[in-house]
Chain A
Amino acid sequence: MNQVYIKQNVEESHQNMKKASPVLEVKDLNIYYGDHHAVKHINMPIEEKSITALIGPSGCGKSTFLRTINRMNDLIHGARSEGEILYGGINLLTSKVDVVQLRKEIGMVFQRPNPFPKSIYENLVLSLKFSGIRDKKKLKDIAEDCLRKAALWDEVKDRLDKSALSLSGGQQQRLCIARALALKPKVLLLDEPSSALDPVSSSKIEELLLKLKEEYTIVIVTHNMQQAARIADKTAFFYQGELVEYGDTSQMFSHPAEKRTEDYISGRFG
Protein backbone atom coordinates (compact mmCIF):
# COMPACT_ATOMS: atom_id res chain seq x y z
CA MET A 1 0.00 0.00 0.00
CA ASN A 2 2.64 2.49 1.11
CA GLN A 3 4.93 1.41 -1.67
CA VAL A 4 2.41 2.44 -4.27
CA TYR A 5 1.98 5.86 -2.75
CA ILE A 6 5.68 6.32 -2.40
CA LYS A 7 6.13 5.48 -6.06
CA GLN A 8 3.52 8.04 -7.01
CA ASN A 9 5.26 10.57 -4.87
CA VAL A 10 8.58 9.87 -6.50
CA GLU A 11 7.11 10.67 -9.87
CA GLU A 12 5.35 13.71 -8.56
CA SER A 13 8.38 15.05 -6.82
CA HIS A 14 10.38 14.66 -10.01
CA GLN A 15 7.86 16.84 -11.76
CA ASN A 16 8.02 19.28 -8.90
CA MET A 17 11.77 19.47 -9.10
CA LYS A 18 11.54 21.42 -12.31
CA LYS A 19 9.00 24.01 -11.33
CA ALA A 20 9.71 24.22 -7.60
CA SER A 21 11.28 27.26 -6.02
CA PRO A 22 11.23 28.11 -2.34
CA VAL A 23 8.45 30.46 -1.28
CA LEU A 24 9.73 30.46 2.28
CA GLU A 25 13.36 30.23 3.31
CA VAL A 26 14.12 29.46 6.95
CA LYS A 27 17.55 30.57 8.11
CA ASP A 28 19.06 29.68 11.47
CA LEU A 29 15.72 29.87 13.28
CA ASN A 30 15.71 29.62 17.06
CA ILE A 31 12.60 29.76 19.19
CA TYR A 32 12.51 30.11 22.95
CA TYR A 33 9.80 29.85 25.57
CA GLY A 34 11.36 31.83 28.42
CA ASP A 35 14.61 29.94 29.05
CA HIS A 36 13.52 26.85 27.20
CA HIS A 37 15.18 26.54 23.80
CA ALA A 38 12.31 24.90 21.90
CA VAL A 39 13.51 25.05 18.31
CA LYS A 40 17.22 25.02 17.47
CA HIS A 41 19.04 26.34 14.39
CA ILE A 42 16.54 25.37 11.72
CA ASN A 43 17.55 25.84 8.10
CA MET A 44 15.19 24.70 5.39
CA PRO A 45 13.37 25.90 2.28
CA ILE A 46 9.64 25.48 1.75
CA GLU A 47 8.92 24.96 -1.90
CA GLU A 48 6.12 26.52 -3.83
CA LYS A 49 2.99 24.57 -4.76
CA SER A 50 4.03 21.47 -2.94
CA ILE A 51 3.23 19.78 0.35
CA THR A 52 5.88 19.87 3.05
CA ALA A 53 5.23 17.59 6.01
CA LEU A 54 6.74 18.23 9.44
CA ILE A 55 6.99 15.02 11.44
CA GLY A 56 8.48 14.05 14.78
CA PRO A 57 7.49 12.95 18.28
CA SER A 58 5.34 15.16 20.54
CA GLY A 59 7.16 18.17 21.90
CA CYS A 60 9.81 18.13 19.17
CA GLY A 61 9.02 21.73 18.17
CA LYS A 62 7.27 21.11 14.86
CA SER A 63 4.04 22.90 15.87
CA THR A 64 6.03 25.71 17.43
CA PHE A 65 7.92 26.11 14.17
CA LEU A 66 4.69 26.08 12.16
CA ARG A 67 3.05 28.67 14.41
CA THR A 68 6.08 30.92 14.08
CA ILE A 69 5.72 31.15 10.31
CA ASN A 70 2.49 33.18 10.57
CA ARG A 71 3.49 34.68 13.91
CA MET A 72 0.73 32.98 15.88
CA ASN A 73 3.34 32.23 18.50
CA ASP A 74 3.46 35.96 19.29
CA LEU A 75 0.30 35.32 21.30
CA ILE A 76 2.07 33.00 23.71
CA HIS A 77 3.44 34.77 26.73
CA GLY A 78 7.23 34.52 26.90
CA ALA A 79 7.75 33.12 23.40
CA ARG A 80 10.41 34.77 21.23
CA SER A 81 12.23 33.85 18.07
CA GLU A 82 15.61 34.60 16.51
CA GLY A 83 16.86 34.09 12.98
CA GLU A 84 15.05 34.59 9.72
CA ILE A 85 12.07 33.28 7.83
CA LEU A 86 12.29 34.91 4.42
CA TYR A 87 9.12 35.33 2.41
CA GLY A 88 9.60 37.14 -0.86
CA GLY A 89 12.89 38.45 0.49
CA ILE A 90 11.30 39.89 3.63
CA ASN A 91 12.12 38.56 7.08
CA LEU A 92 8.77 37.71 8.67
CA LEU A 93 10.14 37.79 12.19
CA THR A 94 10.90 41.50 12.40
CA SER A 95 8.57 43.80 14.27
CA LYS A 96 8.07 45.85 11.09
CA VAL A 97 5.99 43.11 9.50
CA ASP A 98 2.25 43.74 9.61
CA VAL A 99 1.05 40.48 11.12
CA VAL A 100 -2.54 41.07 10.01
CA GLN A 101 -1.42 41.33 6.39
CA LEU A 102 0.96 38.41 6.85
CA ARG A 103 -1.81 36.14 8.10
CA LYS A 104 -3.92 37.01 5.10
CA GLU A 105 -1.18 35.62 2.86
CA ILE A 106 -0.22 32.71 5.10
CA GLY A 107 -3.40 31.00 6.30
CA MET A 108 -3.69 28.46 9.07
CA VAL A 109 -5.87 25.49 9.98
CA PHE A 110 -5.77 24.08 13.49
CA GLN A 111 -5.79 20.65 15.04
CA ARG A 112 -9.30 20.85 16.45
CA PRO A 113 -11.88 22.20 14.02
CA ASN A 114 -12.70 25.70 15.26
CA PRO A 115 -15.68 27.01 13.30
CA PHE A 116 -17.11 30.20 14.74
CA PRO A 117 -20.54 29.77 16.36
CA LYS A 118 -22.18 31.48 13.41
CA SER A 119 -23.76 30.35 10.17
CA ILE A 120 -21.68 28.49 7.59
CA TYR A 121 -21.84 31.51 5.30
CA GLU A 122 -20.77 33.93 8.04
CA ASN A 123 -17.77 31.72 8.78
CA LEU A 124 -16.61 32.06 5.21
CA VAL A 125 -17.11 35.77 4.73
CA LEU A 126 -16.02 37.07 8.15
CA SER A 127 -12.47 37.81 7.04
CA LEU A 128 -13.66 39.22 3.70
CA LYS A 129 -16.04 41.62 5.40
CA PHE A 130 -13.18 42.70 7.64
CA SER A 131 -11.12 43.40 4.52
CA GLY A 132 -13.83 45.75 3.41
CA ILE A 133 -15.67 43.66 0.80
CA ARG A 134 -19.33 44.64 1.10
CA ASP A 135 -20.72 43.52 -2.26
CA LYS A 136 -23.20 40.69 -1.45
CA LYS A 137 -22.81 39.05 -4.85
CA LYS A 138 -19.04 39.01 -4.61
CA LEU A 139 -19.11 37.60 -1.08
CA LYS A 140 -21.47 34.85 -2.18
CA ASP A 141 -19.30 33.96 -5.16
CA ILE A 142 -16.14 33.73 -3.08
CA ALA A 143 -17.94 31.65 -0.44
CA GLU A 144 -19.16 29.21 -3.08
CA ASP A 145 -15.75 29.06 -4.73
CA CYS A 146 -14.04 28.29 -1.39
CA LEU A 147 -16.59 25.63 -0.50
CA ARG A 148 -16.12 23.97 -3.89
CA LYS A 149 -12.34 24.02 -3.47
CA ALA A 150 -12.75 22.44 -0.05
CA ALA A 151 -15.06 19.77 -1.52
CA LEU A 152 -17.85 20.83 0.82
CA TRP A 153 -20.20 22.69 -1.52
CA ASP A 154 -22.46 19.77 -2.41
CA GLU A 155 -22.94 18.87 1.24
CA VAL A 156 -23.84 22.34 2.51
CA LYS A 157 -25.17 24.35 -0.43
CA ASP A 158 -28.76 24.09 0.86
CA ARG A 159 -28.00 25.14 4.39
CA LEU A 160 -25.47 27.97 4.24
CA ASP A 161 -27.50 29.90 6.83
CA LYS A 162 -27.40 27.04 9.35
CA SER A 163 -24.97 27.12 12.26
CA ALA A 164 -21.50 25.83 11.41
CA LEU A 165 -21.61 23.85 14.64
CA SER A 166 -24.33 21.64 13.16
CA LEU A 167 -21.76 20.12 10.77
CA SER A 168 -19.86 16.92 11.53
CA GLY A 169 -16.25 17.13 12.70
CA GLY A 170 -14.85 16.38 9.25
CA GLN A 171 -17.15 18.89 7.59
CA GLN A 172 -16.20 21.49 10.19
CA GLN A 173 -12.53 20.97 9.41
CA ARG A 174 -13.14 21.31 5.66
CA LEU A 175 -15.12 24.48 6.42
CA CYS A 176 -12.08 25.78 8.31
CA ILE A 177 -9.92 25.04 5.27
CA ALA A 178 -12.46 26.75 3.00
CA ARG A 179 -12.50 29.72 5.38
CA ALA A 180 -8.71 29.98 5.18
CA LEU A 181 -8.88 29.95 1.35
CA ALA A 182 -11.25 32.92 1.22
CA LEU A 183 -8.43 35.43 1.39
CA LYS A 184 -6.52 33.67 -1.40
CA PRO A 185 -3.43 32.96 0.68
CA LYS A 186 -0.18 31.85 -0.91
CA VAL A 187 0.69 29.44 1.87
CA LEU A 188 -1.54 27.21 3.97
CA LEU A 189 -0.26 26.00 7.33
CA LEU A 190 -2.02 22.99 8.82
CA ASP A 191 -1.40 21.83 12.38
CA GLU A 192 -2.41 18.16 12.53
CA PRO A 193 -5.62 18.91 10.64
CA SER A 194 -6.98 15.38 10.67
CA SER A 195 -5.80 14.02 14.02
CA ALA A 196 -9.19 14.73 15.64
CA LEU A 197 -11.13 13.12 12.78
CA ASP A 198 -12.26 9.63 11.86
CA PRO A 199 -10.41 7.76 9.05
CA VAL A 200 -12.99 8.57 6.36
CA SER A 201 -12.98 12.30 7.09
CA SER A 202 -9.23 12.15 7.39
CA SER A 203 -8.77 10.65 3.93
CA LYS A 204 -11.12 13.29 2.51
CA ILE A 205 -8.85 15.97 3.93
CA GLU A 206 -5.84 14.26 2.35
CA GLU A 207 -7.50 14.13 -1.07
CA LEU A 208 -8.36 17.77 -0.66
CA LEU A 209 -4.79 18.75 0.17
CA LEU A 210 -3.42 16.89 -2.86
CA LYS A 211 -5.80 18.92 -4.99
CA LEU A 212 -5.04 22.20 -3.26
CA LYS A 213 -1.30 21.95 -3.72
CA GLU A 214 -1.77 22.75 -7.41
CA GLU A 215 -2.56 26.29 -6.33
CA TYR A 216 -1.19 26.68 -2.83
CA THR A 217 1.96 25.96 -0.91
CA ILE A 218 1.07 23.64 1.94
CA VAL A 219 2.95 22.97 5.16
CA ILE A 220 1.43 20.28 7.34
CA VAL A 221 2.36 19.05 10.80
CA THR A 222 1.35 15.45 11.26
CA HIS A 223 1.76 12.66 13.77
CA ASN A 224 0.68 10.17 11.21
CA MET A 225 3.67 8.93 9.24
CA GLN A 226 1.53 7.16 6.66
CA GLN A 227 -0.17 10.47 6.05
CA ALA A 228 3.14 12.19 5.44
CA ALA A 229 4.22 9.36 3.12
CA ARG A 230 0.93 9.53 1.22
CA ILE A 231 0.67 13.22 0.55
CA ALA A 232 3.92 15.09 1.15
CA ASP A 233 6.48 15.99 -1.48
CA LYS A 234 9.05 17.02 1.08
CA THR A 235 9.33 15.84 4.65
CA ALA A 236 11.19 17.36 7.56
CA PHE A 237 11.90 15.24 10.62
CA PHE A 238 12.18 17.15 13.89
CA TYR A 239 13.58 15.70 17.07
CA GLN A 240 14.08 17.55 20.36
CA GLY A 241 13.92 20.92 18.67
CA GLU A 242 16.38 20.10 15.93
CA LEU A 243 15.75 19.49 12.27
CA VAL A 244 17.32 16.07 11.92
CA GLU A 245 16.60 15.46 8.27
CA TYR A 246 14.89 17.23 5.40
CA GLY A 247 14.36 15.89 1.91
CA ASP A 248 12.13 14.23 -0.64
CA THR A 249 9.47 12.21 1.14
CA SER A 250 10.11 9.08 -0.91
CA GLN A 251 13.80 9.33 -0.24
CA MET A 252 13.35 9.81 3.47
CA PHE A 253 10.90 6.97 3.91
CA SER A 254 12.87 4.49 1.83
CA HIS A 255 16.45 5.49 2.62
CA PRO A 256 16.63 7.77 5.64
CA ALA A 257 20.05 9.31 5.97
CA GLU A 258 19.99 9.49 9.75
CA LYS A 259 19.66 6.66 12.25
CA ARG A 260 17.17 8.67 14.35
CA THR A 261 14.92 9.22 11.35
CA GLU A 262 14.96 5.54 10.56
CA ASP A 263 14.14 4.64 14.16
CA TYR A 264 11.24 7.09 14.24
CA ILE A 265 9.62 6.17 10.94
CA SER A 266 9.96 2.48 11.64
CA GLY A 267 8.11 3.08 14.90
CA ARG A 268 10.92 2.39 17.33
CA PHE A 269 10.12 5.52 19.34
CA GLY A 270 7.81 8.49 19.28
Chain B
Amino acid sequence: MTSKITNRIALSVIVLCALVMTATLAALLGYILYHGLSAISLSFLTKDSSSFQAGGGIKNQLWNSFYILFATMLFTVPLGLCGGIYLSEYAKPNKLTHFIRSCVEVLASLPSIVVGMFGLLIFVNYFGWQYSILSGALALTVFNLPVIVRVTEDALQSVPRELREGGLALGVTQWHTIKTIVVPAAFPGILTGIILSAGRVFGESAALLFTAGLSTPNLDFSNWNPMSMTSPLNPFRSAETLSVHIWQVNTAGITPDIQTIANGSSAVLVLCVLGFNLFARIVGKFIDRKLTGKA
Protein backbone atom coordinates (compact mmCIF):
# COMPACT_ATOMS: atom_id res chain seq x y z
CA MET B 1 0.00 0.00 0.00
CA THR B 2 2.67 2.50 1.02
CA SER B 3 4.77 1.67 -2.02
CA LYS B 4 1.74 2.41 -4.16
CA ILE B 5 1.35 5.82 -2.54
CA THR B 6 5.05 6.59 -2.93
CA ASN B 7 4.77 5.63 -6.53
CA ARG B 8 1.83 7.97 -7.06
CA ILE B 9 3.53 10.88 -5.29
CA ALA B 10 6.67 10.42 -7.37
CA LEU B 11 4.66 10.29 -10.56
CA SER B 12 2.69 13.43 -9.67
CA VAL B 13 5.87 15.35 -8.87
CA ILE B 14 7.42 14.33 -12.17
CA VAL B 15 4.30 15.22 -14.13
CA LEU B 16 4.09 18.55 -12.30
CA CYS B 17 7.69 19.38 -13.23
CA ALA B 18 6.99 18.53 -16.85
CA LEU B 19 3.87 20.70 -16.78
CA VAL B 20 5.72 23.68 -15.26
CA MET B 21 8.37 23.38 -17.95
CA THR B 22 5.90 23.15 -20.81
CA ALA B 23 3.77 25.95 -19.40
CA THR B 24 6.79 28.25 -19.08
CA LEU B 25 7.78 27.64 -22.66
CA ALA B 26 4.22 28.05 -23.92
CA ALA B 27 3.72 31.29 -21.97
CA LEU B 28 7.04 32.73 -23.17
CA LEU B 29 6.47 31.80 -26.78
CA GLY B 30 2.86 32.93 -26.65
CA TYR B 31 3.82 36.30 -25.18
CA ILE B 32 6.57 36.95 -27.71
CA LEU B 33 4.53 35.84 -30.70
CA TYR B 34 1.35 37.61 -29.52
CA HIS B 35 3.14 40.93 -29.26
CA GLY B 36 5.61 40.38 -32.07
CA LEU B 37 3.68 38.84 -34.92
CA SER B 38 1.64 42.00 -35.49
CA ALA B 39 4.87 43.95 -35.91
CA ILE B 40 6.22 41.64 -38.60
CA SER B 41 5.50 42.68 -42.15
CA LEU B 42 7.31 42.49 -45.43
CA SER B 43 8.53 46.07 -45.09
CA PHE B 44 9.76 45.33 -41.53
CA LEU B 45 11.88 42.48 -42.87
CA THR B 46 13.17 44.30 -45.93
CA LYS B 47 13.77 47.87 -44.75
CA ASP B 48 16.90 49.38 -43.25
CA SER B 49 16.67 50.23 -39.59
CA SER B 50 16.27 53.90 -38.82
CA SER B 51 18.06 55.69 -36.03
CA PHE B 52 15.41 58.17 -34.93
CA GLN B 53 12.32 57.95 -37.12
CA ALA B 54 9.54 55.41 -36.68
CA GLY B 55 9.05 52.55 -39.13
CA GLY B 56 12.59 51.12 -39.32
CA GLY B 57 13.16 47.52 -40.44
CA ILE B 58 15.66 44.77 -39.66
CA LYS B 59 16.94 43.81 -43.09
CA ASN B 60 20.64 44.32 -42.32
CA GLN B 61 20.41 42.75 -38.88
CA LEU B 62 18.76 39.65 -40.25
CA TRP B 63 21.38 39.37 -42.99
CA ASN B 64 24.19 39.89 -40.47
CA SER B 65 22.82 37.20 -38.17
CA PHE B 66 22.75 34.64 -40.95
CA TYR B 67 26.14 35.73 -42.31
CA ILE B 68 27.82 35.45 -38.91
CA LEU B 69 26.10 32.12 -38.34
CA PHE B 70 27.42 30.86 -41.66
CA ALA B 71 30.95 32.08 -40.98
CA THR B 72 30.91 30.58 -37.49
CA MET B 73 29.78 27.22 -38.81
CA LEU B 74 32.46 27.38 -41.48
CA PHE B 75 35.09 27.52 -38.72
CA THR B 76 33.47 25.30 -36.10
CA VAL B 77 32.14 22.35 -38.07
CA PRO B 78 35.44 21.11 -39.57
CA LEU B 79 37.38 21.78 -36.37
CA GLY B 80 34.70 20.31 -34.14
CA LEU B 81 34.31 17.23 -36.31
CA CYS B 82 38.03 16.56 -36.25
CA GLY B 83 38.19 17.10 -32.50
CA GLY B 84 35.22 14.83 -31.89
CA ILE B 85 36.59 12.11 -34.14
CA TYR B 86 39.95 12.28 -32.39
CA LEU B 87 38.43 12.06 -28.91
CA SER B 88 36.04 9.28 -29.80
CA GLU B 89 38.12 7.11 -32.11
CA TYR B 90 41.81 7.70 -31.56
CA ALA B 91 42.35 9.11 -28.07
CA LYS B 92 43.62 6.45 -25.67
CA PRO B 93 42.36 6.82 -22.12
CA ASN B 94 45.30 8.63 -20.55
CA LYS B 95 46.11 11.88 -18.76
CA LEU B 96 46.49 13.94 -21.92
CA THR B 97 43.10 13.04 -23.38
CA HIS B 98 41.52 13.44 -19.96
CA PHE B 99 42.99 16.93 -19.87
CA ILE B 100 41.72 17.72 -23.38
CA ARG B 101 38.26 16.55 -22.41
CA SER B 102 38.27 18.76 -19.29
CA CYS B 103 39.33 21.70 -21.45
CA VAL B 104 36.40 21.12 -23.77
CA GLU B 105 34.03 21.00 -20.81
CA VAL B 106 35.40 24.18 -19.24
CA LEU B 107 35.28 25.95 -22.58
CA ALA B 108 31.66 24.89 -22.98
CA SER B 109 30.71 26.37 -19.62
CA LEU B 110 32.45 29.74 -20.10
CA PRO B 111 29.95 32.62 -19.83
CA SER B 112 29.48 34.09 -23.29
CA ILE B 113 30.27 37.63 -22.11
CA VAL B 114 33.71 36.36 -21.08
CA VAL B 115 34.17 34.87 -24.52
CA GLY B 116 33.17 38.28 -25.91
CA MET B 117 35.81 40.06 -23.82
CA PHE B 118 38.40 37.52 -24.93
CA GLY B 119 37.39 38.19 -28.53
CA LEU B 120 37.75 41.92 -27.94
CA LEU B 121 41.29 41.48 -26.62
CA ILE B 122 42.52 38.98 -29.19
CA PHE B 123 40.66 39.42 -32.46
CA VAL B 124 39.53 43.05 -32.25
CA ASN B 125 42.57 44.63 -30.61
CA TYR B 126 45.55 42.31 -30.90
CA PHE B 127 44.96 41.17 -34.47
CA GLY B 128 43.45 44.55 -35.30
CA TRP B 129 40.40 43.22 -37.10
CA GLN B 130 38.22 45.84 -35.39
CA TYR B 131 34.55 45.23 -34.77
CA SER B 132 33.89 42.92 -37.66
CA ILE B 133 32.08 39.86 -38.87
CA LEU B 134 35.37 37.96 -38.73
CA SER B 135 36.01 38.88 -35.08
CA GLY B 136 32.42 38.04 -34.18
CA ALA B 137 32.48 34.72 -35.98
CA LEU B 138 35.78 33.76 -34.33
CA ALA B 139 34.44 34.65 -30.87
CA LEU B 140 31.38 32.54 -31.59
CA THR B 141 33.70 29.76 -32.76
CA VAL B 142 35.29 29.72 -29.32
CA PHE B 143 31.77 29.66 -27.90
CA ASN B 144 30.42 26.93 -30.18
CA LEU B 145 33.44 24.68 -30.79
CA PRO B 146 33.15 22.68 -27.55
CA VAL B 147 29.49 22.01 -28.29
CA ILE B 148 30.26 20.56 -31.71
CA VAL B 149 33.15 18.49 -30.34
CA ARG B 150 30.86 17.08 -27.68
CA VAL B 151 28.01 16.40 -30.06
CA THR B 152 30.34 14.64 -32.52
CA GLU B 153 31.99 12.56 -29.83
CA ASP B 154 28.65 11.48 -28.36
CA ALA B 155 27.19 10.61 -31.75
CA LEU B 156 30.27 8.54 -32.65
CA GLN B 157 30.26 6.81 -29.28
CA SER B 158 26.70 5.64 -29.87
CA VAL B 159 27.77 3.77 -33.02
CA PRO B 160 28.00 0.10 -32.01
CA ARG B 161 31.50 -1.36 -31.68
CA GLU B 162 30.43 -4.21 -33.95
CA LEU B 163 30.36 -1.88 -36.94
CA ARG B 164 33.95 -0.78 -36.35
CA GLU B 165 35.06 -4.38 -35.95
CA GLY B 166 33.10 -5.29 -39.07
CA GLY B 167 35.04 -2.74 -41.07
CA LEU B 168 38.45 -3.67 -39.67
CA ALA B 169 37.78 -7.38 -40.14
CA LEU B 170 37.29 -6.70 -43.85
CA GLY B 171 40.88 -5.56 -44.13
CA VAL B 172 39.92 -1.91 -44.18
CA THR B 173 42.17 0.58 -42.37
CA GLN B 174 40.98 2.39 -39.27
CA TRP B 175 40.72 5.76 -41.00
CA HIS B 176 38.77 4.33 -43.92
CA THR B 177 36.46 2.51 -41.49
CA ILE B 178 35.82 5.75 -39.64
CA LYS B 179 35.32 7.68 -42.86
CA THR B 180 33.03 5.27 -44.68
CA ILE B 181 31.24 3.42 -41.89
CA VAL B 182 31.38 5.08 -38.47
CA VAL B 183 30.91 8.74 -39.39
CA PRO B 184 28.08 8.03 -41.87
CA ALA B 185 26.35 5.90 -39.21
CA ALA B 186 26.69 8.78 -36.73
CA PHE B 187 25.79 11.42 -39.30
CA PRO B 188 22.12 11.95 -38.31
CA GLY B 189 23.16 12.59 -34.70
CA ILE B 190 26.01 14.90 -35.70
CA LEU B 191 23.84 16.88 -38.11
CA THR B 192 21.03 17.28 -35.59
CA GLY B 193 23.55 18.52 -33.03
CA ILE B 194 25.06 20.99 -35.48
CA ILE B 195 21.69 22.44 -36.43
CA LEU B 196 20.62 22.74 -32.80
CA SER B 197 23.86 24.52 -31.95
CA ALA B 198 23.16 26.82 -34.90
CA GLY B 199 20.05 27.98 -33.03
CA ARG B 200 22.21 28.85 -30.02
CA VAL B 201 24.72 30.73 -32.15
CA PHE B 202 21.96 32.56 -33.99
CA GLY B 203 20.49 33.90 -30.76
CA GLU B 204 23.79 34.76 -29.07
CA SER B 205 24.33 38.42 -28.23
CA ALA B 206 26.77 38.88 -25.35
CA ALA B 207 29.74 37.42 -27.20
CA LEU B 208 29.06 39.72 -30.15
CA LEU B 209 28.66 43.05 -28.33
CA PHE B 210 32.39 43.69 -28.27
CA THR B 211 33.42 41.70 -31.32
CA ALA B 212 30.96 42.29 -34.15
CA GLY B 213 29.91 45.69 -32.87
CA LEU B 214 26.68 47.59 -32.39
CA SER B 215 26.32 49.17 -35.79
CA THR B 216 26.25 48.27 -39.46
CA PRO B 217 27.58 50.46 -42.25
CA ASN B 218 25.13 51.39 -45.00
CA LEU B 219 24.94 48.22 -47.04
CA ASP B 220 24.40 48.17 -50.76
CA PHE B 221 22.78 44.83 -51.56
CA SER B 222 23.70 45.16 -55.22
CA ASN B 223 27.41 45.28 -54.42
CA TRP B 224 28.74 41.74 -53.91
CA ASN B 225 32.45 42.57 -53.97
CA PRO B 226 33.62 41.24 -50.59
CA MET B 227 36.40 43.83 -50.39
CA SER B 228 34.08 46.81 -50.68
CA MET B 229 33.08 48.52 -47.43
CA THR B 230 29.40 48.76 -48.39
CA SER B 231 29.18 45.14 -49.54
CA PRO B 232 27.05 42.85 -47.39
CA LEU B 233 29.73 40.17 -47.90
CA ASN B 234 32.66 42.17 -46.52
CA PRO B 235 33.92 40.17 -43.51
CA PHE B 236 35.86 43.15 -42.13
CA ARG B 237 32.90 45.46 -41.59
CA SER B 238 31.08 45.79 -38.29
CA ALA B 239 27.80 43.96 -38.08
CA GLU B 240 24.94 44.30 -35.65
CA THR B 241 23.02 41.03 -35.43
CA LEU B 242 19.36 40.59 -34.66
CA SER B 243 19.77 39.72 -31.01
CA VAL B 244 22.27 42.53 -30.48
CA HIS B 245 19.76 44.82 -32.19
CA ILE B 246 17.08 43.86 -29.67
CA TRP B 247 19.43 44.73 -26.83
CA GLN B 248 20.60 47.91 -28.54
CA VAL B 249 17.10 49.18 -29.32
CA ASN B 250 15.93 48.52 -25.81
CA THR B 251 18.84 50.18 -24.04
CA ALA B 252 19.79 53.05 -26.34
CA GLY B 253 17.10 53.38 -28.97
CA ILE B 254 15.54 56.82 -29.46
CA THR B 255 12.94 56.00 -32.14
CA PRO B 256 9.29 56.34 -31.08
CA ASP B 257 8.47 52.73 -31.98
CA ILE B 258 11.11 51.01 -29.83
CA GLN B 259 8.54 48.63 -28.40
CA THR B 260 7.28 47.49 -31.81
CA ILE B 261 10.76 46.97 -33.22
CA ALA B 262 11.88 45.00 -30.16
CA ASN B 263 8.75 42.86 -30.24
CA GLY B 264 8.99 42.21 -33.95
CA SER B 265 12.71 41.40 -33.80
CA SER B 266 12.20 39.04 -30.88
CA ALA B 267 9.45 37.22 -32.72
CA VAL B 268 11.63 36.87 -35.84
CA LEU B 269 14.53 35.59 -33.73
CA VAL B 270 12.38 33.06 -31.90
CA LEU B 271 10.78 31.89 -35.10
CA CYS B 272 14.20 31.37 -36.71
CA VAL B 273 15.44 29.34 -33.73
CA LEU B 274 12.23 27.31 -33.73
CA GLY B 275 12.74 26.76 -37.43
CA PHE B 276 16.26 25.44 -36.82
CA ASN B 277 14.96 23.00 -34.22
CA LEU B 278 12.16 21.72 -36.41
CA PHE B 279 14.51 21.45 -39.36
CA ALA B 280 16.98 19.45 -37.23
CA ARG B 281 14.26 16.99 -36.27
CA ILE B 282 12.96 16.54 -39.77
CA VAL B 283 16.41 16.08 -41.32
CA GLY B 284 17.51 13.71 -38.56
CA LYS B 285 14.39 11.57 -38.97
CA PHE B 286 14.68 11.57 -42.74
CA ILE B 287 18.29 10.37 -42.78
CA ASP B 288 17.65 7.83 -40.07
CA ARG B 289 14.80 6.35 -42.08
CA LYS B 290 16.92 6.23 -45.17
CA LEU B 291 19.75 4.43 -43.37
CA THR B 292 17.57 1.87 -41.66
CA GLY B 293 15.53 1.23 -44.80
CA LYS B 294 12.14 2.04 -43.29
CA ALA B 295 11.35 4.68 -45.87
Contacts and interface: CB of A to CB of B under 8 A. Distances in A.
Nearest to B188: A117
A126 B172 contact: yes
B170 A163 contact: no
Interface string B268-295: 0000000000000000000000111110
A110 interface: yes
Interface in A79-110: 100-105, 107-108, 110
Contacts of B167: 116, 126
Interface in A180-202: 180, 182-183
B181 A166 contact: no
A126 B172 CA distance: 9
B165 A72 contact: yes
Contacts of A44: none
A8 interface: no
B163, B166, B167 pick with most chain A CB within 10 angstroms: B166
Interface in A107-134: 107-108, 110, 112, 114-118, 126-127, 130-131
A166 B162 contact: no
Contacts of A62: none
A183 B290 contact: no
Contact of B168 (A72, A117, A164, A183): A72
Nearest to A117: B291
Nearest to A128: B170
A114 B93 CA distance: 26
Contacts of B166: 110, 114-116, 176
A110 B165 contact: yes
Nearest to B162: A114
A162 B162 CA distance: 21
Given A110-B162, A117-B163, A130-B180, 5 more contacts: A103-B168, A116-B163, A126-B167, A180-B169, A180-B170
Interface of B: 92-93, 160, 162-163, 165-173, 176, 180-181, 184-185, 290-294
Interface of A: 70, 72, 75, 77, 100-105, 107-108, 110, 112, 114-118, 126-127, 130-131, 162-166, 176, 179-180, 182-183
The 4 lowest CB-CB distance pairs between A and B, nearest first, are A163-B293, A166-B293, A104-B171, A114-B162
